[in-house]
Structure 1
Amino acid sequence: MRAKPGARYVETGGQHRMDWQRDAACADAADPDLFFPISLHGPGADQVEQARRVCRRCPVAAQCAEWARETHQGAGVWGGMAMEASGGGRQ
């Protein structure tokens, strides 16, 4: 998924490590908020599943999930992983 403005990123050897985003399936998503549900439970669970459907067809889902773990993203659906406030991913 595309990072919201102000998201942290990691640079390695001068190369921007978020360049995978240009190939992300979510780059064409009508509503970026789909990937940031208010909760992972109740109605938010349906939103998480909708976001995961986009991730399942994404060619860079693995890079997205890895970036989210490396940068400790605490919220959102990244590469099909739902991040909880604890900073971990949930399948």
Structure 2
Amino acid sequence: MTRITGLPRQIRRDLNWQRQALCVEADPEIFFPVGSNDTSEADERRAKDVCEVCEVRARCFQWAVNHRIPEGIWGGFTARERRELADRLKNRR
């Protein structure tokens, strides 16, 4: 298990959920597919499969939206999917 040290207590608390994420055991490359070819599409699917069964998926997604993470798959969504979903949710208010 990765220890989060050297950061202020509040930030450590905010990131504590990452210790429970299944992606820490997966190849990090699949969460940052490059381009739009068969390999990148396969990586995206593999990453989303990991996220699908992860117990902190919702928290991961929310963290990425709140921090406007511009790339990668977080909580089972690509950056474009996160932006689109966040915009739809914002427009419903």
**TM-score between the two structures when normalised by the length of structure 2:** 0.70
1:23: which partner in 2? 20
Could you tell me how far apart the structure 2 residues matched to 1:72 and 1:61 are? 16
Once the two structures are TM-superposed, the CA of residue 77 in structure 1 deviates from its matched residue by: 0.4
**Bigger helix fraction:** 2
Write out the 4+ residue segments of structure 1 that deviate beyond 4 Å after TM superposition: none
* Deviation string, structure 1 residues 57-78 (Cα, Å, up to 9, x no partner): 1000000000000001111000
For 1:52-67, list aligned pairs within 5 A.
52-67=48-63
Q: Which amino acid aligns with 1:88?
A: R
Aligned letter for 1:56? E
**Amino acid across the alignment from 1:81:** F
Structure (1 or 2) with the greater strand fraction: 1
Q: Which has the larger radius of gyration?
A: 2
Q: Secondary structure at the match of 1:80?
A: coil
Q: Could you tell me which residue of structure 2 aligns to residue 3 of structure 1?
A: none
Are 1:46 and 2:78 counterparts?
no
Q: Identity, % of aligned pairs?
A: 32
Q: Say yes or no: does 1:34 pair with 2:30.
A: yes
Deviations 1:11-48 (A, max 9, x none): 8x93531110000011111x111100113x33222211
Cα RMSD, aligned residues only: 2.4
The verdict on how the C-alpha distance between 1:65 and 1:19 changes in structure 2, with shifts beyond 3 A counting, is same
Q: Among 64, 67, 84, which residue is 1:68 paired with?
A: 64
Q: Supply the distance in 1 between the matched residues of 2:20 and 2:84 (Cα, whole angstroms).
A: 22
Q: Distance in 2 between matches of 1:34 and 1:89?
A: 21
**Structure 1 contact 36–77 (Cα < 8 Å) conserved:** yes
